[in-house]
């Protein structure tokens, strides 16, 4: 985030920033970024590139819709890839642990919780769900709900911070609140991931 702020407000890059702000609202660019994000998530790569190409340039509500739609499409693609692989794929490590967990609990709230937690790889959830062929309807609903909450917090934090710095008023409550929520999600995600890894080792 610090590196991004430095780039965002670097005097040498102000022209590039203005060009990017104008270009990002072109329909072709919007669709292109969303497609790239969906494809990267479908093949197991992080979708965070979409976050940094969308969140700084759009209001949080619009950014959340764009990010959630791209992520859900990517999650569906990853699910289908894993489901087709079937028995030919022998996962290990965290993917195997999540598969075992989804065998026991694949309800809507559990999947939502996994989606919301930062630091928990979505590719692991997507592939584990596809390999176990859990209910596609519940899977997509959980992905939409969980990711909309997560992307909403991320988008608000990024957009609000950049806007506050630009206006030289960074201590507004509506700017600090998403950052507090993000910090809470990060702590919860780190705790849950350690718990899963400890259970795997045991």
Give me the helices (H) in 55-171, please.
Answer: 60-85, 93-104, 108-116, 122-132, 136-166
pLDDT in tens, the chain (202 residues): 566 665 556 655 556 566 666 676 778 888 988 999 999 999 888 777 788 888 888 889 999 999 999 999 999 999 999 888 877 777 777 777 778 788 787 788 888 878 877 667 788 888 888 888 888 999 999 999 989 988 988 888 888 777 776 666 555 655 566 666 666 666 666 666 666 556 555 5
Burial of 102 (0-12, 13-18, 19+ CB in 10 A): buried
In whole angstroms, give the CA distance from residue 138 to residue 120: 19
Dihedral sign for Cα 30, 1, 159, 114, please: positive
Dihedral sign for Cα 181, 182, 183, 184, please: positive
pTM here is 0.75
Half-sphere exposure of 198 (CA within 13 A, CB side): 6
Domain spans of the chain? 2-201
Q: Which residues of 1-33 are buried (b: 16+ CB within 10 A; e: fewer)?
A: eeeeeeebeeeeeeeeeeeeeeeeeeeeebeeb
Strand, helix or coil for residue 120: coil
In whole angstroms, give the CA distance from residue 47 to residue 39: 9
| Other beta carbons within 10 Å of 89 | 13
């Amino acid at each position: 985030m610090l590196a991004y702020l430095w780039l965002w407000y670097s005097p040498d890059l102000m022209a590039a920033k203005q060009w990017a702000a104008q270009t990002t609202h072109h329909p072709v660019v919007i669709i292109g970024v969303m497609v790239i994000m969906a494809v990267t998530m479908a093949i197991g790569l992080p979708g965070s590139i979409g976050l940094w190409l969308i969140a700084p340039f759009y209001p949080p509500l619009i950014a959340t819709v764009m990010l959630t739609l791209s992520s859900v499409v990517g999650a569906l693609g990853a699910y289908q890839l894993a489901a087709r692989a079937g028995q030919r794929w022998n996962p290990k490590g965290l993917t195997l642990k999540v598969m075992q967990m989804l065998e026991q609990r694949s309800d809507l709230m559990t999947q939502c919780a996994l989606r919301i937690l930062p630091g928990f790889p979505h590719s692991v959830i997507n592939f584990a769900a596809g390999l176990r062929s859990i209910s596609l309807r519940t899977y997509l609903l959980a992905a939409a709900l969980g990711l909309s909450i997560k992307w909403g917090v991320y988008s608000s934090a990024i957009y609000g911070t950049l806007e506050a710095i630009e206006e030289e008023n960074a201590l507004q409550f509506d700017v600090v609140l998403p950052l507090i929520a993000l910090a809470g999600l990060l702590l919860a995600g780190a705790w849950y991931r350690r718990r899963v890894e400890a259970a795997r080792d045991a």
